[in-house]
């Protein structure tokens, strides 16, 4: 059993799995292709990525251009994050807007991040381990980014972005207005 919730960004979904708990602990299916397919979540995932980050780290905003754009299924194994998604699909009603979802190892939420969206997160616990599945392989030639502190986007990371721990690469990413994008809404699995 899973509950799937839409967001204001088309294709950005929040998934709440059915969790079975008792005195021994808990059990849940973190991914079941048949069950997800029944809810219209039908992707062929080809790569799993795991990252561990310290508290107040911001990673992102990252994406891959077409034809190597990626849909991601994200969850937190340990800790807590604010997961951030920016819609880059020029004909989407949510183009240029962002959504923030709190995902933790306690709430066990999962997030589907559609193709055509930039993705990032901020660690809001002392550290966090994130696992995400991708439906397209990593391709460095098509990798792009947007500056996490872009003044046009006005993303609320829950911290002054200049006080966060951010890689030099992410600090040098282009502004939203200058970022390369080649997406349409139909690229986002809608």
> Catalytic residues, which ones?
62, 132
Q: CA 135 to CA 80: how far, in whole Å?
A: 24
Distance CA 48, CA 107 (A): 21
| Nearest alpha carbon to residue 112 among 24, 35, 21, 41 | 41
C-alpha pair distances (Å), 144 with each of 57, 85, 89, 116: 19, 14, 14, 11
CA distance linking residue 123 with residue 107, whole number of Å: 15
DSSP 170: H
Q: Count other C-beta atoms under 10 Å from residue 18's C-beta.
A: 12
Q: How far apart are CA 10 and CA 87, in angstroms?
A: 9
Nearest to 88 by CA among 190, 189, 180: 180
The token duo for 156 is: 């609320």
């Amino acid at each position: 059993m899973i509950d799937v919730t839409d967001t204001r960004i088309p294709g950005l979904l929040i998934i709440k799995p059915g969790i079975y708990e008792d005195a021994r602990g808990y059990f849940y299916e973190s991914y079941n292709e048949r069950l997800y397919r029944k809810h219209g979540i039908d992707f062929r995932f080809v790569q799993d990525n795991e990252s561990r980050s310290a508290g107040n780290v911001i990673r992102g905003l990252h994406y891959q251009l077409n034809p190597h754009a990626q849909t991601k299924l994200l969850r937190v194994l340990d800790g807590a994050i604010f997961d951030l998604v920016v819609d880059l699909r020029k004909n989407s009603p949510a183009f240029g807007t962002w959504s923030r979802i709190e995902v933790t190892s306690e709430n066990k939420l999962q997030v589907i991040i559609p193709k055509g969206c930039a993705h990032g997160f901020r660690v809001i616990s002392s550290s966090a381990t994130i696992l995400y599945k991708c439906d397209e392989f990593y391709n460095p030639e098509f990798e792009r980014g947007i500056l996490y502190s872009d003044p046009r986007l006005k993303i609320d990371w829950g911290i002054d972005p200049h006080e966060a721990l951010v890689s030099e690469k992410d600090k040098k990413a282009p502004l939203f207005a200058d970022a390369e994008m080649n997406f349409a809404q139909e690229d986002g699995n809608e």
